[in-house]
């Protein structure tokens, strides 16, 4: 986006040269036989008179080029007993609980973000205004999403920019999601944290920024993660809050972070010294949305997820069975 008017995401650089049908044919044939005719890889190799390794490569290439799209049927996980129990205990509209990988505990985040990536487009309808949080969880979800255009969709960055490692910044999360969903992208082109309250107020009065903040305030749906308050917290890694300051707030009851703002176990705001210098959505404006999808995965996320739900920031939840069980152990 440039100037005061939001713009559609654009492709950059020259378009890659298209292959001829003759070049494409083996990939298309292998994909057709596998996904439509139900042949296994050995049968396809025999039919096409090629090696099984070539079949594997052809199928992989077909998916890479976007010719084959595999969707997760979220309804399977929505009917999970843990999902029903979570909705009953916490008053959620829906909860999608994916199974843990007993052989790989670190795979939890990838499984949960993939499930959320498949589910989110089904929670959107034409005309929606989707507010997007930041962080590694949201970033991974965005990148795992298959292109699923939603007509007349607006995708809005909920907080200002702040340098983040590996591209987890708010503007990256928003722009990737907007591209995948074919939506109008509104980035918030201001720093998240200013050096003074006066500078923040002056910047917010600029017409361009005021228009972006107005769009931010009018989101009817959101997708978010709720960070932790430990030493590895995203707000510490980005320098938004110092480790000692965060430890102090944690001792005072802070357990989670939503869009750079701290909350306690009941989801109530925990004021920080930097609060008045931040530009972004307020916790009050994150409450009571038509749909608010929380993506909760990783170490310590049960505590922060519970706080986000209790505070009224969540209507829909995607998480793992491990975190689901932890949430149910401390259900209200």
| Residue 121 and residue 243 in one domain | yes
32 pLDDT higher than 50: yes
Q: Could you tell me which of 275, 259, 272 has the C-alpha nearest to residue 311?
A: 259
Residue pLDDT, tens place only, 175-207: 999 999 999 999 998 999 999 999 999 999 999
Asked, for residue 10, whether it belongs to a domain, the answer is no
6, 39, 64 - which closes a domain: 64
In this prediction, residues 34-38 reach a mean pLDDT of 87
Q: What is the DSSP string of 221-258?
A: EEEE--B--STT-HHHHTTSS-HHHHHHHHHTTEEEEE
In this prediction, residues 227-247 reach a mean pLDDT of 85
| Residue 41 and residue 172 in one domain | no
Looking at per-residue pLDDT, the higher value among 13 and 94 belongs to 94
Q: How many domains does the chain have?
A: 2
| Residue 219 and residue 264 in one domain | yes
Tokens 């931010």 belong to: 216
| Residue 206 and residue 321 in one domain | yes
Helices (H) and strands (E) in the chain, counts: 15, 10
Asked, for residue 35, whether it belongs to a domain, the answer is yes
Range with the poorest average pLDDT among 49-58, 159-168, 279-288: 159-168
- Containing domain of residue 151, as a range? 74-329
In this prediction, residues 91-111 reach a mean pLDDT of 85
pLDDT for the residue 11: 40
Range with the poorest average pLDDT among 69-78, 122-131, 159-168, 218-227: 69-78
pLDDT for the residue 105: 64
In this prediction, residues 71-81 reach a mean pLDDT of 67
7 pLDDT higher than 60: no
**CATH number, position 186:** 3.40.50.1360
Whole-angstrom distance, CA of residue 65 vs CA of residue 159: 33
pLDDT for the residue 79: 61
In this prediction, residues 65-84 reach a mean pLDDT of 74
| Residue 222 and residue 163 in one domain | yes
Asked, for residue 160, whether it belongs to a domain, the answer is yes
Asked, for residue 150, whether it belongs to a domain, the answer is yes
Work out the pLDDT band at 255, boundaries 50, 70, 90: very high
| Residue 47 and residue 119 in one domain | no
Work out the pLDDT band at 1, boundaries 50, 70, 90: very low
Work out the pLDDT band at 6, boundaries 50, 70, 90: very low
Residue pLDDT, tens place only, 210-220: 999 998 889 99
Average pLDDT over all residues of the chain: 87
| Residue 268 and residue 147 in one domain | yes
In this prediction, residues 266-293 reach a mean pLDDT of 94
What pTM does this model have?
0.79
16 pLDDT higher than 70: no
| Residue 54 and residue 134 in one domain | no
**Whether 188 contacts 279, CB under 8 Å:** yes
**Whether 117 contacts 295, CB under 8 Å:** no
pLDDT for the residue 24: 78
pLDDT for the residue 15: 40
Work out the pLDDT band at 50, boundaries 50, 70, 90: very high
Assigned token pair, 274: 């930097």
């Amino acid at each position: 986006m440039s100037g005061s008017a939001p713009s559609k995401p654009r492709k950059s650089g020259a378009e890659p040269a298209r292959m001829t049908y003759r070049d494409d044919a083996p990939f298309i044939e292998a994909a057709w036989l596998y996904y439509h005719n139900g042949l296994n890889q050995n049968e396809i190799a025999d039919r096409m008179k090629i090696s099984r390794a070539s079949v594997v490569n052809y199928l992989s290439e077909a998916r890479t080029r976007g010719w084959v799209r595999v969707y997760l049927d979220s309804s399977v996980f929505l009917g999970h007993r843990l999902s029903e129990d979570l909705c009953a205990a916490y008053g959620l509209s829906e909860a999608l609980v994916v199974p843990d990988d007993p052989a790989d505990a670190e795979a939890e985040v990838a499984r949960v973000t993939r499930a959320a990536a498949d589910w989110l487009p089904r929670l959107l309808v034409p005309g929606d205004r989707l507010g997007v949080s930041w962080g590694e969880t949201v970033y991974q979800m965005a990148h795992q999403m298959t292109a699923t255009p939603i007509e007349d969709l607006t995708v809005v960055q909920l907080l200002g920019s702040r340098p983040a490692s590996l591209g987890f910044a708010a503007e990256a999360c928003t722009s990737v999601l907007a591209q995948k969903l074919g939506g109008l992208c509104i980035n918030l082109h201001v720093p998240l944290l200013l050096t003074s309250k006066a500078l923040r107020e002056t910047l917010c009065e600029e017409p361009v920024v005021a228009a972006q903040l107005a769009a931010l305030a009018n989101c009817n749906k959101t997708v978010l993660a709720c960070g932790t308050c430990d030493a590895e917290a995203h707000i510490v890694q980005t320098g938004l809050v110092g480790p000692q300051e965060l430890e102090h707030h944690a001792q005072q009851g802070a357990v989670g972070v939503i869009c750079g703002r701290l909350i306690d176990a009941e989801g109530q705001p925990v004021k920080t010294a930097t609060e008045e210098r931040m530009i972004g959505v307020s916790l009050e404006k994150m409450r009571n949305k038509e749909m608010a999808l929380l993506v909760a995965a990783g170490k310590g996320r049960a505590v922060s997820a519970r706080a986000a739900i209790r505070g009224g920031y969540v209507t829909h939840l995607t998480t793992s069975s491990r975190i689901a069980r932890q949430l149910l152990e401390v259900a209200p």
